C-alpha cells in the first residue's frame, strides 16, 4: 500500500474527500516528524510508538571496494509496534 492507496482507503472509510484524507495524513506525518525532531515520542495505544534511538559511531566496510570506513553517530527514527498490532498481524484472536 502506498500513500495514494492509503488516502483512498481513509477517504472511503471516513466518508470524506480524498483531499481531506490527504490533509489528515500529511498533518499526522508532520506532527510525528516534528515531535521526533524535538526528541519526543508519539504513542498510539494498541498501534505502536514512534520514537528515536541514538546509534553509536562505528566502523563499516564499503561492500564494493572492501575499504574500511567510519560511520558517524546518528539519531534515527524507530517504531515499536503495540500489542494489539502484533497480535493482529500474528493472527491471534482478540
Q: Are residues 87 and 49 in the same domain?
A: yes
Q: Say yes or no: 14 and 29 in one domain.
A: yes
Reported pTM: 0.81
Q: Are 28 and 39 in contact (CB under 8 A)?
A: no
d(CA 14, CA 92): 27
Count of domains for the chain: 2
Reported as type and span, the H/E element at residue 42 is: strand 42-44
Check whether residue 50 and residue 62 sit in a common domain: yes
Same domain, 60 and 78: yes
pLDDT band at 68 (very low <50, low <70, confident <90, very high): very high
53 and 12 in a single domain? The answer is: no
Residues 24 and 45 in one domain: no
pLDDT-based confidence at 80, cuts 50/70/90? very high
Q: What is the CATH number of the domain that holds 86?
A: 4.10.520.10
Q: Which domain holds residue 72?
A: 41-94
Over residues 61-82, mean pLDDT? 96
Given a cut of 70, is residue 94 above it in pLDDT? no
pLDDT at 75 over 90: yes
Amino acid at each position: 500500500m502506498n500513500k495514494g492507496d492509503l488516502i483512498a482507503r481513509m477517504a472511503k472509510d471516513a466518508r470524506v474527500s480524498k483531499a481531506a484524507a490527504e490533509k489528515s495524513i500529511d498533518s499526522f506525518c508532520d506532527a510525528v516528524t516534528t515531535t521526533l525532531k524535538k526528541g519526543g515520542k508519539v504513542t498510539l495505544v494498541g498501534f505502536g510508538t514512534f520514537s528515536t534511538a541514538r546509534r553509536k559511531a562505528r566502523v563499516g566496510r564499503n561492500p564494493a571496494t572492501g575499504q574500511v570506513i567510519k560511520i558517524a553517530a546518528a539519531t534515527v527514527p524507530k517504531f515499536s509496534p503495540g500489542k494489539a498490532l502484533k497480535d493482529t498481524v500474528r493472527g491471534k484472536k482478540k
